[in-house]
Structure 1
Amino acid sequence: MTAIDGLSTWLRVRRDADWQRAPVLRRVQPATDGFRAWCEGPVRRRDPVRANRLLTAYTLARAAAAHRCPLDFTLLATWQREVLGAAEAPFRVNDAYAKAGRERYGLTPRTQADFAVCLREAIETELPPAARAARAYLDVAFFHPFTDGNARAAC
C-alpha cells in the first residue's frame, strides 16, 4: 500500500482555495471559553498534568496574540515544549505518517522553509480572520512539523 502524500495534497488545495470568499464572522464575546472548559473538564479528569500543560501553552499563545507576535516555528515550538513537557521541540527530520500509515506528510529540503512562508501568511490582513485561522490550523496539521503532538499544536 502506497501512502497518500497528505502534505502535497494540502498544498494544492491551499493554493487553489478561494480564501477571499471565506465567511466573515462577526466578533462575538463567548459565554464560555470552550478550550479552557475542555481542559478543566474531561482533560483534567483524565490527566491533570496534561491539562495544566495545555492551559499554560494556551496562556502563552493568547499572550503572544495580544502582543501581535508573528506566528513562526520558534513560537510554535515554545508552546509545543510546554504541552509535551519537553526540553526541545525541533522540526521533524523524517516523513511523518498518519491513519495507520495510509497518509504520509513528506519531508523535502524545502519543507521547513515552505512551512515558514505559510505561517507568515497568517498575518495577511486582506484575508478574513476565519480564513487565516483555518489555513494556519491546517498548515500545522499537514506540515506535521513536530514528531509528536501536532494535533495539539494545531489547536
Structure 2
Amino acid sequence: MQRWLAVRELVPWHEIPDNGADGPVVPLRDGAAEDIRAFDSAIDPARAEGLLSALELLRVDAARGARLDFALLSSWQQHVLGTLEPPQFRNSPAFAKGSRERYGIGPDTRDRFDTCLAESASDAGRLLGLTARAARAYLDVCFFHPFDDGNARSAFLTLVFVLAREGIALDGVSLLRRITFEAEDTQDPLILVRYINVHLAETRRRTADSTGSASR
C-alpha cells in the first residue's frame, strides 16, 4: 500500500490520451454483465448472482452521481460476498498473491483510502481524464485491499462505476479482468488505462456502426 501511494504520484497519467473525452456511450450489449455470466457463473452461480446484484446497484448509484467512498463500495460488497451486513474495513494486515504482497493497516488507512477514491470525480483537483481516473480508482482498491475477501471484484466494480457515473458503459471487459498488477510498477497503471481505452474505442465503433446501418 505504501509503495502504491508513492508510485501513484509518479505515474505519468497524462501520457495516455483520454478516450472518455468524447462523452457518454450506451453500448449494444452490457459487457460487464455478460462477462459475469460467462466467467463467474462457471466458477459459482451464486458468485455471479451476487456480482450482478452489485452491478445493478452501482448503476443506480452512478445515475444519481453518488460519491465514491468505502461506504459505497461496502454496500456493493455485501452483495458480492453475500453477507448479512455491509462488510467493514479490514482491521489487520492483508496478504495476496501467495503472500508475496502485504497490505498494512494504520489508524488513518480508511481515511486515506476515501481521499484517494474521491479523486475519481470529474471535479477533483489535478483533473485527469476519465479513463485515467477509472484506472487509478481500480488500483486504489487493489492496493488498499479494503476487504477481507473479494477485492479484485470490488476493484472491477469500482472501475465500472467511475465510467458509468459519466454516462459510459462498455460492451466488452475481457482485458479488465483476469489480470494482475504490481504496486511498484509505474507502467502497469498506464497499461490499464490503455486497456480501458481499447474497450471504449471498440464500444464506440460498434455502436456507431450499428447506428449507421440502422439509418441506411
Instruction: Give the TM-score taking structure 1 as reference length.
Output: 0.88
- More deviation, 98-107/129-138: 98-107
Q: Which sections of structure 2, spanning at least 5 residues, go unmatched?
A: 157-216
8 Å contact from structure 1 (residues 140, 150) kept in 2: yes
Which residue of 2 is the match for residue 15 of structure 1?
A: 9
- More deviation, 58-67/44-53: 44-53
1:103 matches 2:104? no
CA distance in 2, matches of 1:14, 1:76: 21
Q: How far off is 1:29 after superposition? A: 4.2
Which residue of 1 is the match for residue 63 of structure 2?
A: 66
1:30 matches 2:27? yes
- More deviation, 141-150/24-33: 24-33
CA distance in 2, matches of 1:22, 1:29: 23
Report SS of the residue matched to 1:97.
strand
CA distance in 2, matches of 1:42, 1:124: 31
Q: How big is each residue's C-alpha offset from its partner over 1:128-148, in whole Å with a ceiling of 9 and x where there is no partner?
A: 000110000000000000011
CA distance in 1, matches of 2:96, 2:54: 24
CA distance in 1, matches of 2:51, 2:103: 25
Which residue of 2 is the match for residue 132 of structure 1?
A: 133
Instruction: Give the TM-score taking structure 2 as reference length.
Output: 0.65
Report SS of the residue matched to 1:82.
helix
Which residue of 2 is the match for residue 49 of structure 1?
A: 46
CA distance in 2, matches of 1:127, 1:63: 24
Q: 1:100 to 1:45 in 2, by over 3 A?
A: closer
CA distance in 1, matches of 2:78, 2:51: 10
CA distance in 1, matches of 2:42, 2:98: 28
8 Å contact from structure 1 (residues 20, 127) kept in 2: yes
Which residue of 1 is the match for residue 72 of structure 2?
A: 75
